[in-house]
Amino acid sequence: MKQWTYRKTLGIALLAAMLCASCGDNAGADTSAGGAVTGTETGAETETAAVIETERVAAPDDLPDVSYEGETFTVLYRGAGATYAVTDVIIEETNGEIVNDSAFERNAKLEEKYGITLAGIEKEEPSELAKQEIMSGSSSFDIMTDKMTILNTLAVEGYLCDWYSLDCFDPADAWWDENAAEGLSIGGQLYMMVSDISMNASSRARYLYINKKIAANYDLTVPYDLVREGKWTFDRLNEMICAVSSDLNGDGVMDGEDLYGMLTENSKFFLSGCGIIFTEKDADDLPYLSFINDRSVSVLTDVKALLDNKKNTLSYEEAAKGKDTSDFAHIYDYGRALFASDHFLFVQNGANVASQFSDMTSEYGIVPNPKYDEAQPDYYHLMDEHACAWAIPTTNTNPEKTDIIMNWWGYLSSNTLVDAFYETTIKYKRLNAPEDAEMLDIVRGSVRYEIATIADLGVMDVLNSAFTSGNLMSSYEKKSKTIEKKFEKLIAAYTESAE
């Protein structure tokens, strides 16, 4: 797995930016332990952006010097109203919001550079149009972005081009996520890829938010130093979670109106963070199941014990049970609102939900998922399998043009959109300490893309069964033949497409 340090200069520049965000429009704001200065969307945010020192990503020097003289480059994308919508690719106008306007500026530079007009086709389910056109041989779009789970289906059906067939594409370039190429390729074929052109995927790796007010109330230290020292482990997290529990309303019933150590989600994100690797690759880049071992049994046993601890942890479903959640889109929004109102020390989620905490009264921070133990070499953050990636349809009539434009678009994004999203929207606007920015960098550099969840190879069936039975080996034995067939079918589809 590629490990890297995010390319922004923090230190003095970050501290100065945060000081700017806490003055001016926020004069007189509460900066005590219980009050978070979040800045404004105008003065403080603009001032912050001006202070940032940035190590710019170098422009690619191996792209052909061409002009497409007014041609249109069309993107098929997952639009507003759909789950996992892609909102930072095609921008119609500026509106004063920094991410929107940065994407607009980036797109204008791309159009000027190559003499193109950038156009979009917005669909709630882009793959439906893609399949219709590819099957009929028509071509109204050059590139598409959709959920990885859906793109995998298109790849298996032979509807997508291999990114490695392009001359200029190099996953090691800064605007591509090399971890995505490592995790999503099969047999040397790569049919979907993640780029800085959209923050959709980058914002959906799960990590931990921590309520600093609750931590202070229980004399708990936010574990920044433990993270830096490689000592932030599952046992340390468990100790903190088990220290927090209180019947706030005194009714003798523990529910979402009380105080817990953690609001819990799907176990797979914890298991992956603890170093369980669902699949690995052989010498031919073919995936095989790799988590049926004694270490996984130990990890699963400990994670199950934590999730079963109803005194200190509560699931989203349990938090919403019997409550009026009609004002929320779903129970996950409701649960995060409980975190924002001081009912949980920890919650696990991604950067895409940080906006829900922007008005939170108490300060919060970010820490990576814990390692299982100190012997584990790295921190890991599993990518949500429904996050969106990029794919090229087989009906694309000019893959060389797509190759060139996607690389330059990605380069521009690394120096505009990434700055706006991570530096301003997440780090400065919503976080409250330089340490949190540092933690977010660790998360972004340690993302794992897992083909077993993206292609639904049966791993979650085994894990869910094991969480119920408490026996991983037995759960696997019952489903091993089905899993083996799924692996064989997936590998055959990818390798046959390459022939």
Span 190-244, pLDDT tens digits: 999 999 999 999 999 999 999 999 999 999 999 999 999 999 999 999 999 999 9
Q: What are the boundaries of each domain within the chain?
A: 11-51, 72-202+384-415, 207-382+452-497
How big is the CA angle at 292 (ends 288 and 296), to the nearest 5 degrees? 125
pLDDT of 12 reads 30
Contacts of 94 (CB under 8 A, 6+ apart): 100, 101, 104
What span, in angstroms and rounded, lies between the C-alpha atoms of 497 and 156?
A: 8
Residue type, 256: G
State the pTM of this model: 0.87
Q: Comparing C-alpha atoms, which of 37, 42, 41 is closest to residue 432? A: 37
- 55 pLDDT band (50/70/90 cuts)? low
Q: Is the pLDDT of residue 473 over 90?
A: yes
How big is the CA angle at 349 (ends 267 and 257), to the nearest 5 degrees? 85
Q: Is the pLDDT of residue 15 over 70?
A: no
Cα separation values, 18 from 43, 46, 83, 338, 430, Å:
13, 12, 33, 27, 10
CATH topology identical between 72-202+384-415 and 207-382+452-497: yes
The percentage of the chain sitting over the pLDDT mark of 70, rounded to a whole number, equals 88
pLDDT of 82 reads 93
What span, in angstroms and rounded, lies between the C-alpha atoms of 334 and 320?
A: 7
Q: Is the pLDDT of residue 58 over 60?
A: yes
Tokens representing residue 79 in the block: 């639009």
- In 10 A of CB 117, how many CB atoms? 11
Q: Exposed, middle or buried: residue 97 (CB in 10 Å: 0-12, 13-18, 19+)?
A: middle
What span, in angstroms and rounded, lies between the C-alpha atoms of 428 and 434?
A: 9
Tokens representing residue 186 in the block: 């099969």
Q: How high does pLDDT run on average in the chain?
A: 88
- The CATH label, of 3.10.180.10, 3.30.870.10, 3.20.20.140, 3.40.190.10, for the domain at 207-382+452-497 is 3.40.190.10
pLDDT of 45 reads 38
What would the 3-class secondary structure string for the chain be? CCCCCCCECCHHHHHHHHHHHCCHHHCCCCCCCCCCCCCCCCHHHHHHHHHCCECCCCCCCCCCCCCCCCCEEEEEEECCCCCCCCCCCCCCCCCCCHHHHHHHHHHHHHHHHHCCEEEEEEECCHHHHHHHHHHHCCCCCCEEEEEHHHHHHHHHCCCECCHHHCCCCCCCCCCECHHHHHHHCECCECCCECECCCCCCCCCECEEEEEHHHHHHCCCCCCHHHHHCCCCEHHHHHHHHHCCEECCCCCCCCCCCCEEEEEECCHHHHHHHCCCCCEEECCCCCEEECCCCHHHHHHHHHHHHHHCCCCCEEEHHHHHCCCCCCCCCCHHHHHHHHHHCCCEEEEEECHHHHHHHCCCCCCEEEECCCECCCCCCCCCEEECCCCEEEECECCCCCHHHHHHHHHHHHHHHHCCHHHHHHHHHHHHHHCCCHHHHHHHHHHHCCEECCHHHHCCCCHHHHHHHHHHHCCHHHHHHHHHHHHHHHHHHHHHHHHHHCC
Task: Name which of 21-25, 174-178, 415-419, 488-492 the model is least confident about.
Answer: 21-25
Tokens representing residue 5 in the block: 């340090």
pLDDT of 32 reads 30
- In 10 A of CB 11, how many CB atoms? 10
pLDDT of 111 reads 98
pLDDT of 419 reads 87
Beta bridge partners of 388: 147
More confident residue, 335 or 498: 335
Residue 296, Cα to own-chain centre: how many angstroms? 24
Task: Using DSSP bridges, classify how beta strands 245-246 and 207-211 pair: parallel, antiparallel or unpaired.
Answer: unpaired
pLDDT of 56 reads 75
- In 10 A of CB 379, how many CB atoms? 22
More confident residue, 406 or 39: 406
Beta bridge partners of 245: 260
Q: What is the CA radius of gyration of the chain?
A: 23
pLDDT in tens, 380-402: 999 999 999 999 999 999 999 99
What span, in angstroms and rounded, lies between the C-alpha atoms of 344 and 323?
A: 17
What span, in angstroms and rounded, lies between the C-alpha atoms of 241 and 407?
A: 44
pLDDT of 1 reads 63
- 40 pLDDT band (50/70/90 cuts)? very low
Tokens representing residue 486 in the block: 């799924």
Contacts of 107 (CB under 8 A, 6+ apart): 90, 91, 118
pLDDT, average across residues 253-270: 89
pLDDT of 499 reads 62
More confident residue, 80 or 126: 126
pLDDT, average across residues 22-36: 32
pLDDT, average across residues 246-258: 90
Q: Is the pLDDT of residue 17 over 80?
A: no
Class (C level, CATH) for 72-202+384-415: alpha beta
pLDDT in tens, 415-443: 999 989 987 778 878 887 889 989 999 99
Beta bridge partners of 205: 383
pLDDT in tens, 280-325: 999 999 999 999 999 999 999 999 999 999 999 999 999 999 999 9
